[in-house]
Amino acid sequence: MNTDELAELGQQLRVDSVRASAAAGSGHPTSSMSAADLLAVLLAHHLRYDFERPEHPANDRFVLSKGHASPLLYAAYKAAGAVEDGELVTFRKLGSRLEGHPTPRRLPWVETATGSLGQGLPVGVGIALAGKRLDRTGYRVWVLCGDSELAEGSVWEAAEHAGYENLDNLIAVVDVNRLGQRGPTRHGHDLDAYARRFQAFDWHTIEIDGHDVDAIDRAYGEALSTTGQPTVILARTLKGKGVASVEDREGLHGKPLPEAEEAVAELGGQRDLRVRVSEPQAAAALRSLTTEVVQLPRYDQGEEAATRDAFGTALAALGTARGDVVALDGEVGDSTRTEEFAKAHPDRFFECYIAEQQLVATAVGIAARGWVPYASTFAAFLTRAHDFVRMASISGSGINLVGSHAGVSIGQDGPSQMGLEDLATFRSVYGSTVLYPCDANQTARLVATMAGLDGIRYLRTSRGKTPVIYGPDEEFPVGGSKTLRAGEDDRLTVVAAGVTVFEALAAADRLAEDGIAVRVIDLYSVKPVDAETLRRAAEETGCLLTVEDHHPEGGLGDAVAEAFGDGRPVPRLVRLAVRTMPGSAAPDEQLHAAGIDAVAIAAAARLLIEEAVVR
Amino acid sequence: MNTDELAELGQQLRVDSVRASAAAGSGHPTSSMSAADLLAVLLAHHLRYDFERPEHPANDRFVLSKGHASPLLYAAYKAAGAVEDGELVTFRKLGSRLEGHPTPRRLPWVETATGSLGQGLPVGVGIALAGKRLDRTGYRVWVLCGDSELAEGSVWEAAEHAGYENLDNLIAVVDVNRLGQRGPTRHGHDLDAYARRFQAFDWHTIEIDGHDVDAIDRAYGEALSTTGQPTVILARTLKGKGVASVEDREGLHGKPLPEAEEAVAELGGQRDLRVRVSEPQAAAALRSLTTEVVQLPRYDQGEEAATRDAFGTALAALGTARGDVVALDGEVGDSTRTEEFAKAHPDRFFECYIAEQQLVATAVGIAARGWVPYASTFAAFLTRAHDFVRMASISGSGINLVGSHAGVSIGQDGPSQMGLEDLATFRSVYGSTVLYPCDANQTARLVATMAGLDGIRYLRTSRGKTPVIYGPDEEFPVGGSKTLRAGEDDRLTVVAAGVTVFEALAAADRLAEDGIAVRVIDLYSVKPVDAETLRRAAEETGCLLTVEDHHPEGGLGDAVAEAFGDGRPVPRLVRLAVRTMPGSAAPDEQLHAAGIDAVAIAAAARLLIEEAVVR
């Protein structure tokens, strides 16, 4: 396309953005109009993409980090022939796949869900890393960012990561329209301010007028010929560009244009230009990945091993069996034990340093390309990436997250290092699976099982050694549980998971000495929960006592209660959990102080059983 | 102190770090040893602090961002005469206030809990802002950072914030010891790499040898004389400095020295130097803050208003009555309505732009200085700051967080903008209060009530207008609820909060038309929960049906279940919640699609009541 044609295409994208938002009665046309020329030139001249084969291994990848500019994206899909004009006006309506912010799977060309700002570039870095180190099919990753979102620290985590990894297949384009939601950004049209920051993180920078299609074209060319570092194109643009009544004005964020028809006329009227998007390079050969039967580590019953150790060994074994498994570390691999994978499979190991948002974003990007990532750090520090996990669930991303050092049982390090909210966090994520093993064989099995699940999968591991109580061939289905003590005379059921399983067993032994029989369930699958076994235990023993190394809200106690949320009669429920703010102390002292050790369980059980007798 | 004395003091801090860690059998002596000279010179020559009066309004503030170097901090307290030598060796033991990572309140000189890396500088920025714009007593804020933590995006959010706000009362000192937990950092001893980054964010930078006490002394002087911008001192150091067997070696992070006695000897043996720390400037006059009776907005029953609007108006009114109330915005003040506060009280309004970690960190810093901050953004985006909220709870910080645009009822914007996990997140935080009002008068009251609570207080607001159902003088105690429909023939209780209250009322009306009486409870206090009223309703109606615009885990349903966690008989419990991934649609379509509207409530109630009859 020549200059005039490119400019016309930009106008068409503006017109269609205005029309879609007008039909919806909501949306972000002004944020679309500022970036229209940037996307027009990309689509017409530089993107290599087969819209009929979004799964093509050599397709470039495009991420709309400023997801609220979805009308622009959908207008581009129309220009590329992927979406009909008639569908455009279903924008934001019930049942339409053209949502307020783009969502993968619902739309086959969307790589990752955006709409929480500052996440597109981090995930783009993950995709670009997959391109460089795993796929190697020559695709480039284009990320269109807003300027407001550059205030997010996650953008600079990503910038640091990309610069350090020399990702010259990554091109960020920043639509510097100087206006955020409620007014001007910090730096307005000061492109140099942004350039200085990116340069400091070892990026190549290009500053242009984002409405000059030839300048845009040249900038893309320069970015593609830059080697050894990622490029950012900083484009000076005007929000609402092309319609005088809204151009460069405050107070118009996220609002359809007041006079849509006049605006379309001012933009030169409706057009129906079609772009021939370049084909991707010839598809590389399919990945040849080993897929053997996994040789998981086997632990003898009676020996002691930390579940984090079993995780590390099992993950390395899984990586040997499956060539699509990848591991990511937040610079604590010696603690989480991902270092074992790193040693065995350095080519599929990604060190993300102390940057948990980037850790999870990288996993999301790599998963978007079909790999099976396991990202791990301390359970406590995964809270840092909560918004990324939330968005990953919207993406339908299949990622494995492993949080170590859970609970007060870590001991002396104190509360800042203790994951005491992680079960709540991960349970509340849509479509998640939450697993909390207590012994090494169970951990190894669950590590392998996770790989085949959908959605966000979370595994909680513990710091200290625990006895091996299961055989290496025992199976642990997701949604299952293990009943470790059971008899006809059980007068109460203790439901535990992880470290509290051993406290529950010890309590059961003490009570048995006094002739009191209690049932013990290992609820290793916290979500989904084994409602059937819990209900049977409730019917047979009358009372469930949950014990967890976690705050009382959102964890094991709530998961058990949820199993009785179907309107059927509910047993008596009591929960022991960490209700105080811990300090430093030895692991056994911590469990005792929190009231979740064998002593506390036995005492609570006695009280409940006596109460039952009195009644 | 002269050069030799300063060096001696540094050695003493090393010795005491080694001793404390040896006594504990754990801890981070090598990370303490690298920064010992930096802290020695600060303590002896530049810090202005009255250890007997930690509340002194003109005290400098010191934040140990690399919180794992706590032995160094405690050694410094000993050198300053604040802690006895005998207490040092209680480090990390049960009941000791010298925890693995420093915790405020337990130790009066600690400003904020650290141990999750990358949080000290963000909170330090908050304190420095309070110093510049609120306290104005001339204190300086010193933050000692590690080099590993510079990979955290939150550090660059803070750097951006501090640079933009010209915080020349803020001095960051980075202990560049080149070794992280599991190995070398990205940039090793390349001080220039860090300097370029900080310079790009408009900081003054100084690079020094962090073991040259005179160079350190000069750098502090230069930092103090720098105006108009914050300063970072980048200090080249060696981890484990001073003991050859551990100095600059990998694999020794977080471990006591293997031969502690020999190490102490190598460091020149035990010393007992005492430092005379400089006095703070004469205390400024006490703040003169208006404290009038708050004139909250009053809404007429029957009118419609969004709870977010009521929040904005009430917060502005609270700011008029109380001079200690401060508001912070994440660049969405036009949506959350903090813009009303900004207009009324620009001197106490802090725009943090789109940087939610920095938003919460600033609130924590300002709260540490005795102010009462209200920080708000979309509920969904507060997930971004989860780790900061978690750490704030360890600090015992009194902050108000307000999340708007909760739930599917926001409508067309789609799932990325919907807070559907926020109740779970905030419930699971230690010592938190979680409030979810349904009408404008209730909101206004709760906004005022929050200010006087302890710990993390969360208020959830809604986007759309809802009917005003309470009078403006109605009271809403924390831990209470409102029973909106009740009669002797009630056959079931619907428990709702926020937008679902109106769906519950409409369902009750429909059911009443068919002669079915149901009770309706507005559970505006989600944590603590009104267990007594719930229990009474359960006894009297036999079944509780919870309805929430939130995922089924961790929210209202779990809160109600928890009220029955005391071992007493439990009623039948059923929960309606958002169990699917929403798309775009109108608010009423969203509520219907999620199965939490009046139709769904009435249908569920009928089913449950019929089941009860059958049984």
- B123-134 pLDDT, tens per residue? 999 999 999 999
A186 in contact with B, Cβ within 8 Å:
yes
Does B279 reside within a domain?
Answer: no
Average pLDDT, whole number, for chain A? 96
The two most distant CA atoms of chain A are separated, in Å, by 90
Q: Which residues of A touch B96 (CB under 8 A)?
A: 583-584
b/e code B167-186 from CB counts within 10 Å (16+ = b):
bbbbbbbbbbbbbbbbeebb
Handedness of CA A45, A48, A50, A54 (dihedral sign): negative
The per-residue pLDDT for A286 is 57
Percent of chain A with pLDDT over 90: 95
pLDDT of residue B282: 83
Please, are residues A372 and A513 in contact by the beta-carbon 8 Å criterion?
A: no
Number of domains in chain B: 3
In a mutagenesis test of the B interface, which of A335, A421, A492 is the best target, namely the one with the most B β-carbons within 10 Å?
A421
Instruction: Give residue A615's pLDDT band: very low, low, confident or very high (50, 70, 90).
Output: very low
Strands A433-435 vs A525-527: parallel, antiparallel or unpaired: antiparallel
What is the C-alpha separation between B388 and B425, in angstroms, rounded? 12
In this structure, the answer to whether residues A131 and A109 fall within a common structural domain is yes
Residue B431 contacts A, CB cutoff 8 Å:
yes
Q: Phi/psi of residue B209, each to 5°?
A: -85, 115
Residue A551 contacts residue A557 (beta carbons within 8 Å)? no
Residue B333: partners with Cβ closer than 8 Å, 6 or more residues away: A182, B339, B342, B351, B376
Which residue is listed with tokens 């495009």?
A62
Tell me whether residues B416 and A199 touch, CB distance under 8 A: no
The answer, for A184 touching chain B at a CB cutoff of 8 Å, is no
| All residues at 6 or more sequence positions from B419 whose CB lies less than 8 Å from its CB, including other chains | B378, B379, B380, B382, B403, B405, B406, B407, B460, B550
- Whether residue A314 is found in the same domain as residue A209: no
Q: What is the DSSP letter of A413?
A: T
- For residue B243, being part of any structural domain is answered with yes
Instruction: For residues A424 and A509, state if they share a domain.
Output: no
Query: For residues A418 and A430, is the Cβ–Cβ distance under 8 A?
Result: no
Could you tell me if B445 and B498 are in contact, meaning their C-beta atoms sit under 8 angstroms apart?
Answer: no
Domain boundary among B242, B267, B292: B267
Among A157, A356, A421, A548, the one annotated catalytic: A356
Handedness of CA B341, B345, B346, B351 (dihedral sign): negative
Which residue is closest to A590 within chain B, CA to CA? B94
Dig out the tokens for A115 from the structure: 């709409």
What local confidence, expressed as pLDDT, does residue B615 receive?
Answer: 47
Calpha distance A499→A290 (Å, rounded): 35
Do B455 and B490 belong to one domain? no
Judge whether B333 and B351 are in contact, CB under 8 Å: yes
- Who contacts A189 (Cβ-Cβ below 8 Å, separation ≥6)? A176, A178, A236
A583/B95 Cβ within 8 A: yes
Over residues A455-472, the pLDDT tens digits come to 999 999 999 999 999 999
B26 to A583: CB separation less than 8 angstroms, yes or no: no
Q: How do residues A314-373 score in pLDDT, each as one tens digit?
A: 999 999 999 999 999 999 999 999 999 999 999 999 999 999 999 999 999 999 999 999
Chain B interface includes A96 (CB < 8 A): yes
> What pLDDT digit, counting tens, does each position of A76-94 carry?
999 999 999 999 999 999 9
Q: Do residue A430 and residue A575 come from a single domain?
A: no
B287/chain A closest Cα distance in angstroms: 31
Write out chain B residues lying below 8 Å of A611, CB-based: 567
Instruction: Decide if B9 is inside a domain.
Output: yes
Structure confidence at residue A567 (pLDDT):
82
Give the Å distances, CA to CA, from A5 to A1, A9, A42, A47, A273: 6, 6, 13, 17, 9
Identify all chain B residues contacting A199, using CB atoms and an 8 Å cutoff. 196, 200
* Residue type at B453 in one-letter notation: L
Cβ neighbour number for residue B561 with a 10 Å cutoff: 26
**Residue A393 falls within a domain, yes or no?**
no
Interval A277-293 mean pLDDT: 77
Secondary structure of B265-310 in HEC code, one letter for each residue: HHCCCCCCCCCCCECCCCCCCCCCCCECCCCCCCCCCCCEEEHHHH
Which B residues in the span 440-499 are in contact with A, Cβ-Cβ below 8 Å?
A: none
Whether A309 and A220 map to the same domain: the answer is no
CATH number at residue B121: 3.40.50.970
Closest chain B residue by Cα to residue A193: B200
Residue of A nearest to B385 (CA): A384
Instruction: Please state the pTM of the whole predicted model.
Output: 0.98
Per the domain annotation, does A374 fall within a domain?
no
Nearest by CB to B94, which of A253, A573, A586? A586
Catalytic residue among B152, B157, B356, B421: B356
- Chain centre distance of CA B290: 26
**pLDDT-flagged residues of chain B (< 50):** 615
The set of residues, in sequence order, having a beta carbon less than 8 Å from that of B448 and lying 6+ positions away, is: B294, B296, B314, B318
Closest CA to A422 of A373, A328, A356, A352: A356
- Provide the CATH number for the domain around residue B497: 3.40.50.920
Domain end point (choices B415, B433, B468):
B468
A152 and A215, same domain (yes or no): yes
Q: In this structure, is residue A229 part of a structural domain?
A: yes
CA distance A182 to chain B (A): 6
For residue B378, the Cα-to-chain-centroid distance in whole angstroms is: 16
Nearest C-alpha in B relative to A333: B182
Residues B458 and B487 in one domain: no
Residue A282 forms part of a structural domain: no
**Residues B432 and B536 both lie in one domain:** no
Same domain, B77 and B199: yes
Query: Would you tell me which residues 54-83 of chain B have a C-beta closer than 8 angstroms to some C-beta of chain A?
Result: 67
Cβ proximity of B576 and B605 under 8 Å: no
Tokens at B500, concatenated: 């679902």
Last residue of a domain, one of B442, B468, B494: B468
Q: Is residue B294 part of a domain?
A: no
Longest alpha-carbon distance in chain B? 90
d(CA B302, CA B310): 15
A220 & A251 share domain:
yes
Nearest CB neighbour to B570, from listed A103, A199, A572: A572
DSSP secondary structure code for residue A419 in this structure? B
- The span from the CA of A354 to the CA of A377, in Å, is 9
Neighbours of B227 (CB within 10 A): 9
* Chain A positions in Cβ-Cβ contact with residue B390 (cut-off 8 Å): 380, 383, 421
Same-domain status, A109 and A17: yes
Question: Quick check: is B356 catalytic?
Answer: yes
Tokens at residue B438, please? 């349904």
SS3 of A56-118 = CCCCCEEEECCHHHHHHHHHHHHHCCCCCHHHHCCCCCCCCCCCCCCCECCECCCCCCCCCCC
CB contact under 8 A, A380 and B357: no
Nearest to B378 by CA among A101, A427, A396: A101
Q: Cα(B186)–Cα(B179) distance, rounded to whole angstroms?
A: 9
Q: Which residues of A337-347 are buried (b: 16+ CB within 10 A; e: fewer)?
A: bbbbbbebbee
Residue type, B171: I
Residue A177 CB contacts under 8 Å (≥ 6 apart), including other chains: A31, A34, A35, A146, A147, A237, A238, A239, A241, A248
Domain residue limits at B442: 303-360+398-468
